Amino acid sequence: MPSTLVSQEAIELVFRLCEQQPAEISWHVLNMHFDRLGEELISAGALVETTPSETVVMPMDLDDELVGFEWDAGRQAFVGFHPNMGLVEADPRVRKRYRVNFDWLLSAIAGAAGAAAGQRRVCLVDDLLWDLGDARLRRNKRPVLFARRLGFTDALDLAEGALIARESRADGVLLTTSPQISRAVRLPGRHRILHIRDCLDHASRGFGLDADVIAGSRLWPEPIASEAVEMGPGGGWIRIHGREYRFPGLIQRSIVQQVYEAWRDGIGRLRTQEVLETAESKSKELAQAFSRRPDFKEIIGYDDGFCWLKVD
């Protein structure tokens, strides 16, 4: 069985790689920047060798002069030209690449979260979202999920679509390596979204998770039949008293999400100009930002330089 006795620094590198697409790293980068950690993760089985690079471009001196290497059949080596060093041969290992071994990672997370051994892990979205089985959290068994790259709107949309069909497996925990997820995000099934870094058990000799952090300090909420306002992942939709509004544009999504969060957090009104600037809109007025969606006035009020979410 692969070892989970890896250092905090090593598992942090795994989390960082999980947010890349693909979740890979070259031998050259490992060797230059993460030499000890790379050896540790490869030995543990957390990183495994994958398809080698077809081309190689890397710095060769302290000035980071980039050199492109091509295969030389005569020399049986990758050869490149450096302006100061002339022809140079690359280390034979330079083409190697390593990928995150998700079988290792998912098994480690499931075990550390308390999911019973032998439960089948289900991939809900290829290379993105997994159901790791049930764990006992605060008296009841609840599903534990893992996802990556949720800071990207397309990934959030895929996760939402997959979970809609599984809302019967509700009120679980979704652990993620994604560091920047809006507090407004609520995935189908009302799963609590936790950053996996925040759940690390720093007293563990290897990779471990703090069960109390995962379970939460408060009792789990009872299912709510309906709510006045609901926000979809990434601000893709907002539902007010059962009526749903969808805004495909990133600027419009940002504006709706900002006024929603202000309403939710009890702030109320926001300065319209600041909202537009945060959304990176070039418009001077809200009406211009929603020029093709006049129905925005049904959910956003604005007057005297301020704007707010209309709920009542």
Q: What is the pLDDT of residues 5-29, one digit of tens each?
A: 899 899 999 999 999 999 999 887 8
So what's the pLDDT on residue 123?
Answer: 96
Same domain for 162 and 205, yes or no, is yes
Which residue among 51, 77, 100 closes a domain?
Answer: 100
The answer as to whether 2 is a domain residue is: no
Same domain for 163 and 235, yes or no, is no
The answer as to whether 220 is a domain residue is: no
Evaluated on CA atoms 66, 70, 75, 77, the torsion sign reads positive
Same domain for 58 and 92, yes or no, is yes
Same domain for 199 and 106, yes or no, is yes
- Into how many domains does the chain fold? 3
The answer as to whether 222 is a domain residue is: no
Residues 129/143, Cβ–Cβ less than 8 Å: no
Which residue among 100, 120, 148 closes a domain?
Answer: 100
Same domain for 211 and 255, yes or no, is no
Of the segments 130-134, 184-188, 220-224, 239-243, which one has the largest average pLDDT value?
130-134
Task: Label residue 226 by pLDDT band (50, 70, 90).
Answer: very low
Task: Label residue 62 by pLDDT band (50, 70, 90).
Answer: very low
Same domain for 148 and 172, yes or no, is yes
52-56, 103-107, 163-167, 185-189: the lowest-pLDDT one? 52-56
Residue 134 to residue 110: CA distance in whole angstroms? 9
Residue 247 to residue 113: CA distance in whole angstroms? 37
Instruction: Specify burial of residue 229 (Cβ count, 10 A radius: 0-12, 13-18, 19+).
Output: middle
Percentage of residues in the chain with pLDDT exceeding 90?
35
Please, which residues have CB within 8 angstroms of residue 86's CB and are 6 or more apart in sequence? none
Same domain for 88 and 133, yes or no, is no
The answer as to whether 3 is a domain residue is: no
The answer as to whether 95 is a domain residue is: yes
The answer as to whether 224 is a domain residue is: no
Residue 290 to residue 268: CA distance in whole angstroms? 21
Same domain for 207 and 172, yes or no, is yes
Q: What is the pLDDT of residues 240-292, one digit of tens each?
A: 888 888 887 889 988 998 898 888 877 888 999 999 999 899 898 998 999 88
> Is the full-model pTM beyond 0.75?
no
Same domain for 204 and 295, yes or no, is no
Same domain for 76 and 109, yes or no, is no
The answer as to whether 60 is a domain residue is: yes
Percentage of residues in the chain with pLDDT exceeding 70?
88
Give strand ranges (E) for the chain: 24-26, 47-50, 56-59, 66-72, 77-82, 86-89, 97-100, 122-125, 129-137, 140-147, 173-176, 192-195, 229-231, 237-240, 243-246, 270-271, 300-303, 306-309
Same domain for 200 and 128, yes or no, is yes
252: domain range?
Answer: 229-309
So what's the pLDDT on residue 225?
Answer: 39
Task: Label residue 126 by pLDDT band (50, 70, 90).
Answer: very high
Is 218 a residue whose pLDDT tops 50?
A: no
Residues 245/298, Cβ–Cβ less than 8 Å: yes
Task: Label residue 44 by pLDDT band (50, 70, 90).
Answer: very high
Same domain for 234 and 204, yes or no, is no
Q: What are phi and psi of 8, to 5 degrees?
A: -60, -40
Residue 231 to residue 76: CA distance in whole angstroms? 58
The answer as to whether 73 is a domain residue is: yes
Which residue among 186, 215, 244 closes a domain?
Answer: 215
So what's the pLDDT on residue 55?
Answer: 64
